[in-house]
């Protein structure tokens, strides 16, 4: 008589982990099928049966193992003691989702006529309680991360980006592109003091009308990096910029702004820049830094207007940045990098240009900047001669004819 193989002993802890796809615990070999990959997934505590070391793990959407699995992997377990099997899984990180794990134990070679495969299934929920301390069901609540620097909140939806305003001093990690088109008028996140890592992803279709129109309002002691902003409109009364008005010790690095419009209406004074507009610092120990950023396809208007920052006088320094401006209109001072009082190093700007911009800075001080023709933007040597890093930070995009940031190459 054939014997049914011993029951697969498996306990699913549904522990969500931030580990590379394909990683596994000691004594385990995991081969994921069909090229499926993801930067996150589930850890599965597992103890093998004594009569098999070869298994198929499958994860299905929903409460049953029906239809095609989301992920399938062949797993070899070499240890008799409990092990951890990691499977990549693109589950919804904006809230709880139900999945079913099916584990099939295969018959050992030579035992095919004596035993048959054993199967066990178990359902699990990826997350049921927000990790940010908010009540379950709170709009935009975070279900991944604790907000610590080593374990940031994961931002995956427009509602979760909006939810950042309730956790201003925390660390955040964007994990996919986000459109803010669901908001008729997105309200700037005020007084951000944490860190926001865009992960090489983009925020797009933001429509912001406010006294100070920006994503992050007036950040201070904050860091924003690896974030792109595209196809958005920032319409301010006094200020307009993608990242905000910097109030000291703000660092923005490896970011870009493309195909956006920035308008600040107030007269006689208003401040407009693609990255920052205005600042409120006069001491070196509060210096804001904008590093390795670029802006292209800009339409920008105001009194003091800069392609990167409206000004550099109060302590905002631009380092290794460039601009390509479609249209610039200034009632006082306008420049390709800053509106006035240049504070820049190794920044490139286009001259001549169709926008009619004559200077890197609106008050004609071009120190720290270098002008290139449109064709010269495709010449990598023009940038490396200024110290730009094309090994780890930048790469030359042949189709665009200009440098782009490597962090956005997914």
pLDDT at residue 10 greater than cutoff 50: no
How is domain 177-408 classified at the CATH fold level? Pectate Lyase C-like (2.160.20)
**Domain spans of the chain, in order of start:** 3-125, 177-408
- Does residue 310 sit in helix, strand or coil? strand
Please tell me the predicted confidence (pLDDT) of residue 3.
33
Q: Tell me the per-residue pLDDT of 283-297, one tens digit each, with 9 for 90 and over.
A: 555 689 999 999 999
pLDDT bracket for residue 314 (50, 70, 90): low
Go through 189-217 and write b for each residue having 16 or more CB atoms within 10 A of its CB, e for each that does not.
bebbebbbbbbbbbbbbbebbbebbbbbb
Q: Distance (Å, rounded) from C-alpha 8 to C-alpha 314?
A: 66
Full DSSP string of 69-87: -SEEEEEEE--SS-EEEEE
Q: Are strands 41-47 and 9-10 parallel, antiparallel or unpaired?
A: antiparallel
pLDDT bracket for residue 316 (50, 70, 90): confident
Cα distances (Å, whole numbers) of residue 66 to 33, 85, 183, 394: 18, 22, 37, 46
Q: Are strands 338-340 and 309-311 parallel, antiparallel or unpaired?
A: parallel
Please tell me the predicted confidence (pLDDT) of residue 40.
86
- Across the range 384-389, mean pLDDT stands at 98
First CA to last CA distance, the chain? 54
- Judge whether 175 and 157 are in contact, CB under 8 Å: no
Q: Which of 43-57, 108-122, 337-351, 385-399 has the lowest mean pLDDT?
A: 108-122
pLDDT bracket for residue 366 (50, 70, 90): confident
Q: Which of 20-24, 81-85, 288-292, 335-339 has the lowest mean pLDDT?
A: 20-24
pLDDT at residue 86 greater than cutoff 80: yes
Please tell me the predicted confidence (pLDDT) of residue 1.
28
Cβ atoms within 10 A of the Cβ of 139, count?
10
Q: Tell me the per-residue pLDDT of 180-214, one tens digit each, with 9 for 90 and over.
A: 999 999 999 999 999 999 999 999 999 999 999 99
- Across the range 235-264, mean pLDDT stands at 95
Class of domain 3-125: mainly beta
CA torsion 28→32→37→40, rounded to 10°?
A: -30
Full DSSP string of 143-195: -S--SBTTBPEEE-SHHHHHHGGGSTTSEEEE-S-EE-TT-SSPPPPPS--SE
Residue 26 burial class via C-beta count within 10 angstroms: exposed 0-12, middle 13-18, buried 19 and up = exposed
Q: Please, which residues have CB within 8 angstroms of residue 322's CB and are 6 or more apart in sequence?
A: 294, 295, 347, 348, 349, 377, 402, 403
pLDDT at residue 340 greater than cutoff 50: yes
- Judge whether 278 and 307 are in contact, CB under 8 Å: no
Model pTM score: 0.88
| Structure-model confidence comparison of residues 270 and 3, the more confident one | 270
Q: Please, which residues have CB within 8 angstroms of residue 109's CB and are 6 or more apart in sequence?
A: none
pLDDT at residue 148 greater than cutoff 70: yes
Please tell me the predicted confidence (pLDDT) of residue 6.
35
- Across the range 384-399, mean pLDDT stands at 98
- Does residue 350 sit in helix, strand or coil? strand
Please tell me the predicted confidence (pLDDT) of residue 27.
83
Please tell me the predicted confidence (pLDDT) of residue 13.
40
pLDDT at residue 61 greater than cutoff 90: yes
Q: Are strands 71-77 and 54-61 parallel, antiparallel or unpaired?
A: antiparallel
pLDDT bracket for residue 11 (50, 70, 90): very low
- Judge whether 180 and 153 are in contact, CB under 8 Å: no
Cα distances (Å, whole numbers) of residue 106 to 178, 263, 272, 371: 43, 65, 65, 67
Percent of the chain with pLDDT over 70: 91
The closest alpha carbon to 357, from 378, 371, 375, 343, belongs to: 371
Please tell me the predicted confidence (pLDDT) of residue 282.
53
- Across the range 117-141, mean pLDDT stands at 91
Please tell me the predicted confidence (pLDDT) of residue 20.
36
Q: Which of 73-77, 124-128, 218-222 has the lowest mean pLDDT?
A: 124-128
Q: Are strands 233-240 and 207-213 parallel, antiparallel or unpaired?
A: parallel
């Amino acid at each position: 008589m054939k014997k049914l193989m011993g029951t697969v002993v498996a306990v699913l802890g549904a522990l969500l982990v931030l580990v590379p796809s394909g990683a596994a615990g000691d004594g385990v070999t995991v081969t994921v099928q069909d090229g499926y990959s993801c930067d996150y997934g589930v850890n599965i505590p597992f103890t093998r049966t004594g009569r098999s070391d070869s298994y198929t793990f499958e994860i299905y959407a929903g409460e049953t193992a029906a239809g095609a699995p989301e992920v399938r992997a062949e797993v070899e377990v070499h240890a008799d003691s409990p092990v951890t099997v990691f499977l990549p899984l693109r589950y919804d990180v904006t809230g709880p989702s139900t999945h079913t794990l099916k584990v099939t134990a295969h018959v050992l070679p030579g035992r095919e006529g004596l035993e048959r495969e054993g199967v066990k299934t178990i359902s699990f929920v990826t997350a049921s309680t927000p990790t940010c301390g908010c009540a379950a069901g709170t709009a935009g609540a975070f279900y991944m991360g604790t907000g610590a620097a080593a374990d940031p909140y994961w931002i995956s939806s427009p509602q979760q980006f909006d939810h950042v305003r309730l956790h201003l001093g925390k660390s955040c990690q964007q994990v996919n592109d986000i459109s803010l088109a669901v908001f008729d008028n997105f309200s700037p996140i005020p007084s951000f003091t944490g860190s926001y890592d865009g992960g090489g992803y983009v925020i797009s279709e933001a429509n912001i009308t406010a006294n100070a129109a920006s994503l992050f309002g007036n950040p201070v002691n904050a860091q924003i990096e690896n974030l792109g902003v595209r196809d958005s409109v920032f319409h301010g009364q006094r200020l307009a910029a993608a990242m905000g008005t910097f109030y000291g010790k703000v660092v923005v690095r490896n970011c870009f702004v493309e195909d956006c419009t920035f308008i600040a209406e107030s007269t006689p004074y208003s401040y407009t820049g693609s990255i920052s507009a205005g600042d409120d610092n006069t001491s070196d120990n509060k210096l804001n830094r904008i590093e390795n950023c670029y802006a292209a396809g800009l339409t920008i208007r105001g009194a003091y207007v800069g392609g990167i920052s409206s000004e550099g006088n109060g302590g905002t320094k631009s380092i290794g940045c460039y601009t390509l401006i479609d249209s610039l209109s200034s009632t006082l001072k306008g420049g390709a990098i800053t509106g006035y009082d240049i504070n820049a190093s190794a920044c490139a700007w286009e001259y001549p240009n169709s926008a009619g911009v004559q200077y890197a800075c609106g008050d004609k001080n071009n120190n720290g900047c270098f002008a290139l023709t449109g064709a010269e933007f495709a010449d990598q040597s023009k940038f490396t001669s200024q110290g730009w890093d094309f090994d780890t930070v930048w790469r030359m995009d042949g189709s665009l004819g200009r440098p782009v940031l490597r962090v956005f190459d997914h």
